[in-house]
Copies of this chain bind each other. A is one copy, B any other.
Amino acid sequence: MFFLIGLGLGDAKDITVKGLEIIKKCSRVYLEAYTSVLTVGKEALEEFYGRELIIADRDCVEQDADSILAEAAEKDVALLVVGDPFGATTHTDLILRAQQKGIAYQIVHNASIMNAVGCCGLQLYCYGETVSIPYWTDTWQPDSFYHKIKSNRTRGLHTLCLLDIKVKEPTLESMTKKKKEYMPPRFMSVSEASQQLLKIIQNERLDCVTSSEKEQNFSLAYSENTLCVGLARVGSPSQQIVAATLKEMSETDLGAPLHSLIICGDIQPLEEEYLQQFLSKSCPASIFKNHVGS
Protein backbone atom coordinates (compact mmCIF):
# COMPACT_ATOMS: atom_id res chain seq x y z
CA MET A 1 0.00 0.00 0.00
CA PHE A 2 1.15 3.50 -0.84
CA PHE A 3 0.45 6.22 1.74
CA LEU A 4 0.59 9.92 0.99
CA ILE A 5 0.69 11.67 4.36
CA GLY A 6 0.34 15.40 5.03
CA LEU A 7 2.60 16.76 7.79
CA GLY A 8 0.81 20.06 8.34
CA LEU A 9 2.77 23.28 8.62
CA GLY A 10 4.62 23.75 11.90
CA ASP A 11 6.79 21.04 13.45
CA ALA A 12 6.98 17.28 14.01
CA LYS A 13 3.88 17.19 16.25
CA ASP A 14 1.60 18.60 13.57
CA ILE A 15 1.24 15.16 12.02
CA THR A 16 -2.08 13.44 12.74
CA VAL A 17 -2.34 10.42 15.03
CA LYS A 18 -3.47 8.42 11.97
CA GLY A 19 -0.43 9.58 10.00
CA LEU A 20 1.98 8.73 12.81
CA GLU A 21 0.56 5.23 13.22
CA ILE A 22 1.06 4.58 9.50
CA ILE A 23 4.66 5.88 9.56
CA LYS A 24 5.48 3.48 12.38
CA LYS A 25 4.27 0.42 10.46
CA CYS A 26 5.71 1.25 7.00
CA SER A 27 8.79 -0.52 5.71
CA ARG A 28 10.07 2.61 3.93
CA VAL A 29 9.23 6.26 4.58
CA TYR A 30 10.19 9.02 2.14
CA LEU A 31 10.21 12.72 3.02
CA GLU A 32 9.38 15.01 0.10
CA ALA A 33 11.54 18.07 0.53
CA TYR A 34 11.22 20.46 -2.38
CA THR A 35 7.64 21.75 -2.71
CA SER A 36 7.56 23.04 0.88
CA VAL A 37 9.43 22.87 4.21
CA LEU A 38 8.58 22.61 7.89
CA THR A 39 10.21 24.80 10.56
CA VAL A 40 12.12 21.67 11.66
CA GLY A 41 14.40 19.45 9.58
CA LYS A 42 14.71 15.75 8.77
CA GLU A 43 16.62 14.95 11.98
CA ALA A 44 13.90 16.38 14.25
CA LEU A 45 11.27 14.36 12.39
CA GLU A 46 13.35 11.17 12.57
CA GLU A 47 13.78 11.58 16.29
CA PHE A 48 10.09 12.18 16.89
CA TYR A 49 8.93 9.30 14.64
CA GLY A 50 11.67 7.03 15.98
CA ARG A 51 12.72 5.91 12.52
CA GLU A 52 14.85 6.71 9.50
CA LEU A 53 13.50 8.85 6.65
CA ILE A 54 14.68 8.87 3.05
CA ILE A 55 14.87 12.32 1.48
CA ALA A 56 12.87 12.44 -1.77
CA ASP A 57 14.07 15.41 -3.77
CA ARG A 58 12.70 16.61 -7.10
CA ASP A 59 14.75 14.14 -9.17
CA CYS A 60 13.60 11.27 -6.97
CA VAL A 61 9.87 12.09 -7.01
CA GLU A 62 9.57 13.20 -10.61
CA GLN A 63 12.02 10.87 -12.34
CA ASP A 64 12.36 7.96 -10.00
CA ALA A 65 8.75 7.64 -8.83
CA ASP A 66 8.58 4.12 -10.23
CA SER A 67 11.13 2.87 -7.72
CA ILE A 68 9.16 4.38 -4.80
CA LEU A 69 5.99 2.75 -6.14
CA ALA A 70 7.65 -0.57 -6.99
CA GLU A 71 8.31 -1.07 -3.28
CA ALA A 72 4.69 -0.16 -2.51
CA ALA A 73 3.33 -3.08 -4.52
CA GLU A 74 4.57 -5.57 -1.91
CA LYS A 75 5.19 -3.50 1.21
CA ASP A 76 3.78 -0.46 2.98
CA VAL A 77 5.55 2.67 1.74
CA ALA A 78 4.79 6.26 2.78
CA LEU A 79 5.67 9.59 1.23
CA LEU A 80 5.50 12.47 3.71
CA VAL A 81 4.52 15.83 2.31
CA VAL A 82 4.55 19.22 4.07
CA GLY A 83 1.01 20.66 4.27
CA ASP A 84 -1.70 18.59 2.57
CA PRO A 85 -0.89 15.89 -0.03
CA PHE A 86 -2.96 17.59 -2.75
CA GLY A 87 -1.16 20.93 -2.54
CA ALA A 88 1.16 20.14 -5.46
CA THR A 89 0.37 18.62 -8.88
CA THR A 90 3.36 16.28 -8.45
CA HIS A 91 1.50 14.34 -5.79
CA THR A 92 -1.70 14.05 -7.83
CA ASP A 93 0.44 12.64 -10.62
CA LEU A 94 2.01 10.12 -8.23
CA ILE A 95 -1.43 8.79 -7.21
CA LEU A 96 -2.35 8.36 -10.87
CA ARG A 97 0.79 6.31 -11.45
CA ALA A 98 0.01 4.15 -8.42
CA GLN A 99 -3.47 3.50 -9.81
CA GLN A 100 -2.08 2.57 -13.22
CA LYS A 101 0.14 0.00 -11.53
CA GLY A 102 -2.81 -1.34 -9.55
CA ILE A 103 -1.26 -0.24 -6.24
CA ALA A 104 -3.73 0.62 -3.47
CA TYR A 105 -3.21 4.00 -1.85
CA GLN A 106 -4.44 6.02 1.13
CA ILE A 107 -4.33 9.78 1.70
CA VAL A 108 -3.91 11.33 5.15
CA HIS A 109 -4.96 14.97 4.99
CA ASN A 110 -3.57 17.83 7.04
CA ALA A 111 -3.56 21.62 7.24
CA SER A 112 -1.96 23.52 4.36
CA ILE A 113 -1.41 27.20 3.72
CA MET A 114 -4.59 27.10 1.58
CA ASN A 115 -6.75 26.84 4.72
CA ALA A 116 -4.39 27.81 7.59
CA VAL A 117 -4.09 31.28 6.02
CA GLY A 118 -7.41 31.86 7.82
CA CYS A 119 -5.28 32.66 10.90
CA CYS A 120 -4.91 36.29 9.78
CA GLY A 121 -8.67 36.79 10.10
CA LEU A 122 -9.48 37.25 6.40
CA GLN A 123 -12.35 34.85 5.76
CA LEU A 124 -11.60 31.94 3.43
CA TYR A 125 -14.78 32.45 1.40
CA CYS A 126 -13.64 35.99 0.52
CA TYR A 127 -10.64 34.82 -1.53
CA GLY A 128 -10.54 34.62 -5.30
CA GLU A 129 -8.14 32.54 -7.37
CA THR A 130 -4.82 31.73 -5.66
CA VAL A 131 -1.69 32.79 -7.56
CA SER A 132 1.96 31.74 -7.54
CA ILE A 133 4.71 34.34 -7.74
CA PRO A 134 7.87 32.91 -9.32
CA TYR A 135 11.41 34.24 -8.93
CA TRP A 136 12.25 36.52 -11.82
CA THR A 137 15.50 36.27 -13.73
CA ASP A 138 17.03 38.94 -15.96
CA THR A 139 15.40 37.35 -18.99
CA TRP A 140 12.27 35.71 -17.57
CA GLN A 141 9.82 37.98 -15.77
CA PRO A 142 6.32 36.50 -16.11
CA ASP A 143 3.44 38.56 -14.69
CA SER A 144 0.30 36.59 -15.55
CA PHE A 145 -0.54 36.56 -11.83
CA TYR A 146 -0.98 40.35 -12.05
CA HIS A 147 -4.14 39.94 -14.13
CA LYS A 148 -5.52 37.35 -11.74
CA ILE A 149 -4.99 39.71 -8.79
CA LYS A 150 -6.74 42.44 -10.78
CA SER A 151 -9.66 40.17 -11.55
CA ASN A 152 -9.97 39.19 -7.88
CA ARG A 153 -9.77 42.77 -6.61
CA THR A 154 -12.34 43.98 -9.14
CA ARG A 155 -14.71 41.56 -7.41
CA GLY A 156 -13.59 42.69 -3.95
CA LEU A 157 -11.79 39.40 -3.28
CA HIS A 158 -8.50 38.74 -1.50
CA THR A 159 -5.63 37.02 -3.34
CA LEU A 160 -3.37 34.49 -1.65
CA CYS A 161 0.07 34.62 -3.28
CA LEU A 162 2.15 31.46 -2.91
CA LEU A 163 5.80 32.43 -3.06
CA ASP A 164 8.47 30.60 -5.04
CA ILE A 165 10.66 27.92 -3.52
CA LYS A 166 13.88 26.82 -5.21
CA VAL A 167 15.30 23.69 -3.66
CA LYS A 168 17.92 21.59 -5.45
CA GLU A 169 17.66 23.61 -8.67
CA PRO A 170 20.55 22.82 -11.03
CA THR A 171 22.68 25.81 -12.02
CA LEU A 172 22.19 27.01 -15.58
CA GLU A 173 25.81 26.14 -16.35
CA SER A 174 25.50 22.54 -15.21
CA MET A 175 22.17 21.85 -16.98
CA THR A 176 23.88 20.26 -19.98
CA LYS A 177 26.60 18.55 -17.96
CA LYS A 178 26.56 14.99 -16.74
CA LYS A 179 27.23 15.95 -13.15
CA LYS A 180 24.70 18.56 -12.06
CA GLU A 181 25.61 21.31 -9.64
CA TYR A 182 22.91 22.80 -7.49
CA MET A 183 22.11 26.34 -6.38
CA PRO A 184 21.70 26.99 -2.67
CA PRO A 185 18.01 26.71 -1.62
CA ARG A 186 16.00 29.93 -1.90
CA PHE A 187 12.62 30.83 -0.45
CA MET A 188 10.93 33.99 -1.71
CA SER A 189 10.27 36.43 1.11
CA VAL A 190 7.26 38.68 1.52
CA SER A 191 9.48 41.69 0.79
CA GLU A 192 10.90 40.16 -2.41
CA ALA A 193 7.40 39.33 -3.64
CA SER A 194 6.21 42.86 -2.83
CA GLN A 195 9.13 44.36 -4.73
CA GLN A 196 8.21 42.33 -7.82
CA LEU A 197 4.56 43.39 -7.47
CA LEU A 198 5.64 47.05 -7.26
CA LYS A 199 7.87 46.62 -10.30
CA ILE A 200 4.89 45.37 -12.32
CA ILE A 201 2.75 48.44 -11.62
CA GLN A 202 5.70 50.71 -12.45
CA ASN A 203 5.92 48.95 -15.82
CA GLU A 204 2.14 49.19 -16.29
CA ARG A 205 2.29 52.96 -15.69
CA LEU A 206 5.16 53.38 -18.15
CA ASP A 207 3.28 51.29 -20.65
CA CYS A 208 0.18 53.44 -20.20
CA VAL A 209 2.01 56.75 -20.74
CA THR A 210 3.18 55.55 -24.14
CA SER A 211 -0.33 54.57 -25.25
CA SER A 212 -3.04 57.25 -25.20
CA GLU A 213 -5.67 54.62 -25.91
CA LYS A 214 -4.81 52.71 -22.78
CA GLU A 215 -4.72 55.85 -20.68
CA GLN A 216 -8.44 56.37 -21.05
CA ASN A 217 -9.40 53.17 -19.25
CA PHE A 218 -6.36 52.94 -17.09
CA SER A 219 -6.69 51.28 -13.71
CA LEU A 220 -4.13 49.31 -11.79
CA ALA A 221 -4.80 46.04 -9.97
CA TYR A 222 -3.32 47.59 -6.81
CA SER A 223 -1.09 50.46 -5.76
CA GLU A 224 1.77 51.15 -3.33
CA ASN A 225 -0.93 51.90 -0.72
CA THR A 226 -2.94 48.71 -1.11
CA LEU A 227 -3.43 46.77 2.12
CA CYS A 228 -1.49 43.50 2.19
CA VAL A 229 -0.92 40.80 4.77
CA GLY A 230 2.43 39.07 5.10
CA LEU A 231 2.62 35.71 6.85
CA ALA A 232 5.68 33.73 7.93
CA ARG A 233 5.96 30.23 9.41
CA VAL A 234 2.18 29.80 9.77
CA GLY A 235 1.24 27.22 12.40
CA SER A 236 4.59 27.31 14.23
CA PRO A 237 5.32 29.04 17.58
CA SER A 238 7.39 31.66 15.70
CA GLN A 239 4.51 32.49 13.33
CA GLN A 240 4.50 36.15 12.30
CA ILE A 241 1.73 38.15 10.63
CA VAL A 242 1.97 41.78 9.49
CA ALA A 243 -0.71 43.92 7.82
CA ALA A 244 0.72 46.89 5.95
CA THR A 245 0.69 48.74 2.65
CA LEU A 246 2.41 47.01 -0.26
CA LYS A 247 5.17 49.65 -0.15
CA GLU A 248 5.83 48.96 3.54
CA MET A 249 5.68 45.22 2.95
CA SER A 250 8.48 45.55 0.38
CA GLU A 251 10.70 46.76 3.25
CA THR A 252 9.49 44.31 5.92
CA ASP A 253 11.66 41.40 7.08
CA LEU A 254 9.61 38.48 8.41
CA GLY A 255 12.63 36.24 9.00
CA ALA A 256 13.00 32.55 8.19
CA PRO A 257 10.82 30.77 5.56
CA LEU A 258 8.13 29.96 4.50
CA HIS A 259 6.41 33.22 3.64
CA SER A 260 3.05 33.93 2.00
CA LEU A 261 1.50 37.21 0.93
CA ILE A 262 -2.12 38.31 0.66
CA ILE A 263 -3.27 41.22 -1.50
CA CYS A 264 -6.47 42.29 0.23
CA GLY A 265 -9.80 42.89 -1.49
CA ASP A 266 -12.75 44.48 0.32
CA ILE A 267 -12.47 44.19 4.08
CA GLN A 268 -15.51 43.09 6.12
CA PRO A 269 -16.02 44.56 9.63
CA LEU A 270 -15.01 41.34 11.45
CA GLU A 271 -11.93 41.05 9.23
CA GLU A 272 -10.96 44.65 10.00
CA GLU A 273 -11.35 44.09 13.72
CA TYR A 274 -9.17 40.98 13.57
CA LEU A 275 -6.49 42.52 11.32
CA GLN A 276 -5.99 45.47 13.70
CA GLN A 277 -3.71 43.35 15.91
CA PHE A 278 -1.31 42.79 13.00
CA LEU A 279 -1.30 46.35 11.64
CA SER A 280 2.16 47.88 11.30
CA LYS A 281 2.63 51.02 13.41
CA SER A 282 3.23 53.28 10.44
CA CYS A 283 0.15 52.04 8.59
CA PRO A 284 -2.47 54.81 8.28
CA ALA A 285 -5.74 54.18 10.16
CA SER A 286 -7.58 55.02 6.94
CA ILE A 287 -6.18 51.90 5.26
CA PHE A 288 -9.46 50.02 5.66
CA LYS A 289 -11.64 52.74 4.12
CA ASN A 290 -12.80 52.34 0.52
CA HIS A 291 -10.16 49.76 0.13
CA VAL A 292 -10.54 48.32 -3.36
CA GLY A 293 -9.50 50.84 -5.99
CA SER A 294 -7.10 52.55 -3.62
Q: Which residues of A contact B (CB under 8 A)?
A: 6, 8-18, 20-21, 83-87, 89, 92-93, 95-96, 99, 107, 109-112, 114-116, 118-119, 121, 123-132, 151, 155, 157, 162, 234-235, 270, 273-274, 277
- Are the C-beta atoms of A115 and B112 separated by less than 8 Å? yes
The CA of A76 and the CA of B205, in the complex, are separated in Å by 54
The complex is assembled from copies of this chain, and their number is 2
Chain B nearest CB from A130 CB (Å) reads: 5
Residues of B within 8 A of A274 (CB): 92, 95-96
The CA of A107 and the CA of B132, in the complex, are separated in Å by 26
> Nearest residue in B to A131 (C-beta to C-beta)?
B125
Chain B nearest CB from A191 CB (Å) reads: 23
- Are the C-beta atoms of B121 and A130 separated by less than 8 Å? no
Residues of B within 8 A of A15 (CB): 16-17
The CA of A105 and the CA of B134, in the complex, are separated in Å by 35
Assuming the contacts A16-B15, A270-B92, A273-B96, asked whether A129 and B131 have C-beta atoms less than 8 A apart, the reply is: no
- Are the C-beta atoms of B125 and A277 separated by less than 8 Å? no
